[in-house]
């Protein structure tokens, strides 16, 4: 916190005048030293006031304003120390210091000595205003003024009337209290600024963490869609190729060729994705995100593995925002990938795309497979990724088994003309 405060304080003095910067740095060094060793400043200030009060007493300077030059010496010495020594605790216990000084203040005015040492009450009132509640300050002001009322009425003739002594004292103590309140207000204001700056830093760090988490999720989703689909196609081709190797070497060779093509395509997409993630490669080559025009290529790749897929379009096609097209493509891709993984042999699939009036789009992907659990016993990331993509565009997604067997994925995306295009871009 101290480092942040120093940085913040240094910002506003960076462009200031040289004298201002030097004075500010000096003040900051003194304050830092006082925070580390507060007793040093307390000892120095208390020692200064003790010396000043005793000097006034011993030199006889007090006699120029006193009402009673015959005040006993021992009482003068006691009052001088009573007004100065307690100042050591003025910061930690200011009200208690005032209570300790109060008897000496009463003795000072009752005896007629009127020592100038009583002006140390200004220091005490300042610290009370700086460090205590308003109620305590009001009571302290009354207690500090009360002895001088006694002096004003005890020696009215010599002082030019009661008000000649009381009014200056009341004004001096009031100004001291106002000064303490002003310093306190500034300290609290600066503290609020520092706390606000700290909160902004915390919020910034939290936003950075949230953005990083969202980016990790997006990258994981993209890698799952890219690598998962291609590996599923490769697995299907490999299984078909091994089955056809003994009976139809030509078909096996075609399967191997398709495996090589699909593998190279997956490696290329993975390499581009990793290039974008590297900080040292900000100019990595980018390719457009898939769109509805790429569905034919996707379905042909699935068919080449041996999964019969039919696609139907209902309604009059209308322009679809880029983000919606990406979501539709990825959902269809994931649904067909799950069919390849879990539907079993002999399964078929059907993709239905409906363009509705007003701009909404509905997609339904069904298969006739038997389904099955995730290979490692977990739920996998496929459905989670589809739901995350759908939620970006306020859509709904339903996935579950059909009563007659098979699996159904139903996606509905409302009109998204007012929604911004996604910021994600897959390399």
Q: Which residue has the higher pLDDT, 326 or 161?
A: 326
Residue 206 pLDDT greater than 60, yes or no:
yes
Q: Which residue has the higher pLDDT, 45 or 238?
A: 45
Residue 380 pLDDT greater than 80, yes or no:
no
Do 180 and 109 belong to one domain? Answer: yes
What's the confidence (pLDDT) of residue 335?
Answer: 87
Split at pLDDT 50, 70, 90, the class of 423 is: very low
Q: Which residue has the higher pLDDT, 355 or 161?
A: 355
Q: Which residues face 357 on adjacent strands?
A: none
- Total structural domains in the chain? 2
Residue 29 domain-assigned?
yes
Residue 141 pLDDT greater than 90, yes or no:
yes
pTM of the model: 0.51
Contacts 24+ apart (CB under 8 A), 207-214: none
User: Looking at 204, 237, 262, which one is the last position of a domain?
Assistant: 204
Contacts of 373 (CB under 8 A, 6+ apart): none
Q: Which domain holds residue 272?
A: 206-413
What angle do helix axes 229-244 and 322-342 make, rounded to 10 degrees?
Answer: 40
In angstroms, the CA 121 to CA 100 distance is 11
Least-confidence region, from 125-129, 147-151, 189-193:
147-151
Average pLDDT over residues 212-217: 71
Least-confidence region, from 4-13, 79-88, 290-299:
4-13
Residue 159 pLDDT greater than 70, yes or no:
no
What's the confidence (pLDDT) of residue 249?
Answer: 67
User: Looking at 167, 182, 204, which one is the last position of a domain?
Assistant: 204
User: Looking at 172, 204, 236, which one is the last position of a domain?
Assistant: 204
Direct distance between the N- and C-terminal alpha carbons of the chain, in angstroms, rounded to an integer: 42
Split at pLDDT 50, 70, 90, the class of 419 is: very low
Residue 210 domain-assigned?
yes
Residue 386 pLDDT greater than 50, yes or no:
yes
Residue 426 domain-assigned?
no
Q: What is the CATH number of the domain that holds 220?
A: 3.30.565.10
Residue 88 pLDDT greater than 70, yes or no:
yes
Contacts 24+ apart (CB under 8 A), 400-405: 401/371, 402/366, 405/368, 405/369, 405/370
Residue 424 domain-assigned?
no
Do 234 and 360 belong to one domain? Answer: yes
Residue 420 domain-assigned?
no
Token readout for 9 is 């304080």
Average pLDDT over residues 4-15: 50
Do 282 and 321 belong to one domain? Answer: yes
CA 275 distance to own-chain centroid: 30
Do 162 and 255 belong to one domain? Answer: no
Residue 422 domain-assigned?
no
Residue 151 pLDDT greater than 60, yes or no:
yes
What's the confidence (pLDDT) of residue 421?
Answer: 44
> How would you classify residue 110: left for phi > 0, otherwise alpha for psi between -120 and 50, otherwise beta?
alpha
Tens-digit pLDDT profile for residues 59-71: 888 887 777 888 8
Please give the mean pLDDT across all residues of the chain. 78
Average pLDDT over residues 394-406: 88
Do 249 and 313 belong to one domain? Answer: yes
Least-confidence region, from 128-137, 139-148, 190-199, 366-375:
366-375
Do 232 and 258 belong to one domain? Answer: yes
Do 56 and 102 belong to one domain? Answer: yes
Residue 3 pLDDT greater than 70, yes or no:
no
Do 315 and 405 belong to one domain? Answer: yes
What angle do helix axes 121-131 and 94-111 make, rounded to 10 degrees?
Answer: 150
Do 116 and 245 belong to one domain? Answer: no
In angstroms, the CA 260 to CA 56 distance is 103
Do 320 and 249 belong to one domain? Answer: yes
Residue 232 domain-assigned?
yes
Do 315 and 211 belong to one domain? Answer: yes
Per the CB < 8 A criterion, the answer to whether 361 and 330 are in contact is no
Per the CB < 8 A criterion, the answer to whether 311 and 365 are in contact is no
Tens-digit pLDDT profile for residues 160-187: 555 566 888 889 999 999 999 999 999 8
Do 326 and 188 belong to one domain? Answer: no
Residue 423 domain-assigned?
no
Sign for the CA dihedral angle at 190, 191, 192, 198 comes to positive
Average pLDDT over residues 182-196: 90
Average pLDDT over residues 46-54: 91
């Amino acid at each position: 916190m101290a480092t942040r405060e120093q940085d913040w304080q240094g910002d506003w003095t960076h462009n200031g005048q040289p004298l201002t910067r030097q004075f500010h740095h000096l003040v900051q060094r003194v304050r830092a030293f006082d925070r580390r060793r507060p007793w040093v400043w307390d000892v120095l200030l208390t020692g200064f006031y003790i010396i000043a009060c005793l000097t006034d007493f011993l030199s006889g300077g007090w006699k120029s304003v006193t009402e009673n030059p015959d005040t006993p010496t021992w009482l003068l010495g006691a009052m001088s120390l009573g007004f100065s020594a307690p100042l050591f605790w003025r910061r930690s216990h200011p009200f208690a210091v005032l209570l300790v000084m109060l008897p000496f203040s009463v003795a000072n005015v009752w005896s007629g000595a009127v020592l100038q040492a009583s002006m140390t009450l200004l220091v005490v009132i300042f610290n009370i205003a700086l460090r205590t509640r308003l109620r305590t300050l009001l009571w302290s002001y009354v207690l500090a003024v009360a002895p001088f009322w006694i002096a004003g009425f005890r020696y009215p003739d010599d002082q030019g009337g009661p008000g000649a002594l009381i009014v200056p004292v009341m004004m001096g103590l009031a100004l001291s209290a106002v000064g303490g309140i002003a310093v306190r207000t500034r300290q609290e204001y600066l503290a609020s600024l520092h706390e606000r700056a700290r909160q902004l830093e915390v919020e910034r760090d939290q936003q950075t963490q949230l953005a990083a988490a969202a980016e990790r999720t997006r990258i994981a989703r993209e890698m799952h869609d890219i690598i998962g689909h291609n590996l599923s196609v490769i697995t299907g081709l490999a299984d078909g190729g091994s089955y056809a190797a003994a009976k139809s070497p030509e078909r096996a060779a075609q399967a191997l060729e398709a495996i090589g093509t699909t593998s190279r395509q997956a490696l290329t997409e993975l390499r581009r994705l990793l290039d974008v993630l590297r900080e040292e490669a900000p100019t990595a080559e980018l390719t457009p995100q898939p769109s509805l025009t790429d569905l034919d290529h996707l379905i042909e790749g699935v068919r080449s593995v041996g999964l019969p897929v039919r696609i139907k379009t209902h309604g009059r096609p209308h322009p679809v925002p880029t983000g919606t097209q990406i979501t539709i493509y990825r959902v269809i891709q994931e649904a067909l990938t799950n069919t390849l993984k879990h539907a079993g042999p002999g399964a078929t699939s059907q993709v239905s795309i409906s363009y509705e009036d007003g701009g909404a789009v509905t997609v339904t992907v069904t298969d006739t497979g038997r389904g099955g659990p995730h290979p490692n016993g977990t739920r996998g990331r496929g459905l989670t990724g589809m739901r995350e993509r759908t939620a970006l565009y306020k859509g709904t997604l339903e996935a579950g088994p059909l009563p007659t067997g098979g699996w159904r994925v139903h996606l509905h995306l409302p009109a998204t003309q007012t929604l911004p295009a996604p910021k994600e871009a897959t390399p």
